[in-house]
Chains A and B, each alone.
Chain A
């Protein structure tokens, strides 16, 4: 069997890496093994990610080809090869595919800790959205569905793409 890293030399060793209780095995030649032993953790993690990405999505290869970030043009296949995303937008474009990978590597998927400070503009937007939500609920209570639909559309227009799923 050929080395899974360089695809050139004969694989002589099997490297198993355990991250967060999940293991990934790769067959490597001596040259490529040296690279890992040199302690390039990032390379190891990228390799695990791409191996897992490959395994998880072998079945729906055709769907993968079409998968492309609209913002930077990175394809999911490129990510599988390098373990690197092209831009922040890739997280949204590949969210469905990335979530199981991130869960495997990190163990969790909900951020805790520091956050960027909220700007006045953002604060105003959030306050306005809260207002619209309560107005919409009130409209539904009053069975004023036309008004509720109008408020819903206004809310949608204010929701940034990244938050859409939650709203």
Chain B
């Protein structure tokens, strides 16, 4: 079942060879970085939106972060940070992040190759016109040497509720580490991974080709997905009604509750998606994945078009979820 991989992302770190890195860059030079990037990408045929962070409302910025289009790091550098996003949200080019450019390519589901092609398409256009810091030995040069070489980070988002429940995540962490990869929770702080969502990505960026890196992440993700499936099968064999009961209880709450705090949502969301993936519940995984972003706090505030207090946010969230799951009731 490949829908255990929720989404795929590839990012490339690039720096212009004539501009200092972030710790030494002047304001004028950061503006130059944005300007030349925009000029070079202007001829692209698809529609793009440009967002200089300093001109945006706090909530709009947070919504971009919730959609993983910008990084927390870029949020912290809003005076010079900017992002260019393709209309279909499959490409986002962050400017003045830790590196001059962080070119991100996205894809739904298990498709790192497509995500990489999206990122490379921007890299190609830029490299034809502009000159990136590059060393024959060390590859693309980055502000932090841990990103030098390909400057590529390939990551997949995995939904692993049964492996989490069976306390197998420590083992998964070890498996990832052995292969030079890292696994961590996406939502929530510390060891708690809200929604049982994890990000698997490469650590090493130098000495391997882009394809080798991507293939290693994809292969390990598939291995973890297979293990998750084994545990799903076991849970069904052990107590099918009990398993269905757990999923339907979450479904019942999501379709009927009148206030839904985000943390509680994440727990039920995990059961909802598990039920969708196993064809137990009458929802699609695509709808679950859409809800995951739409129900996050900044998205709720934006959809409400007014500042809500926490209780009202929770009420708005539950109404939105009910609407999506019941087809509008």
Spell out A's residues near B (CB within 8 Å): 18-20, 34, 37-39, 41-42, 45-46, 49, 71-74, 78, 82-88, 90-91, 98, 101-102, 105-117, 162-163, 166
Contact = CB atoms under 8 A, between A and B. Distances in A.
Q: Which 7 A-B pairs have the closest CB atoms?
A: A108-B207, A111-B139, A88-B133, A86-B24, A106-B206, A113-B209, A37-B190
A85 B144 contact: yes
B42 to A, nearest CB: 20
B205 interface: yes
A84 B208 contact: no
A127 to B, nearest CB: 17
Contacts of B203: 19-20, 45
Contacts of B21: 72, 84-88, 90
A85 B143 contact: yes
A85 B149 contact: no
A97 to B, nearest CB: 11
B136 interface: yes
Interface residues of B, number: 51
Interface of B: 15, 17, 19-24, 73, 98, 120, 123, 127-128, 131-141, 143-146, 148-150, 152, 177, 180, 182, 184-185, 189-191, 203-212
Contacts of B190: 34, 37-38
Contacts of B146: 42, 45-46, 49, 83, 105-106
A87 B131 CA distance: 14
Which residue, A38, A72, A90, A113, has most C-beta atoms of chain B within 10 A? Answer: A113
A107 B207 contact: yes
Given A19-B203, A37-B191, A88-B133, A111 B150 contact: yes
Given A42-B73, A87-B21, 11 more contacts: A20-B180, A37-B189, A38-B190, A42-B144, A49-B144, A83-B144, A105-B145, A105-B204, A106-B204, A110-B137, A112-B149
A108 B23 CA distance: 26
Contact of A117 (B127, B191, B205, B207): B127
B206 A102 contact: yes
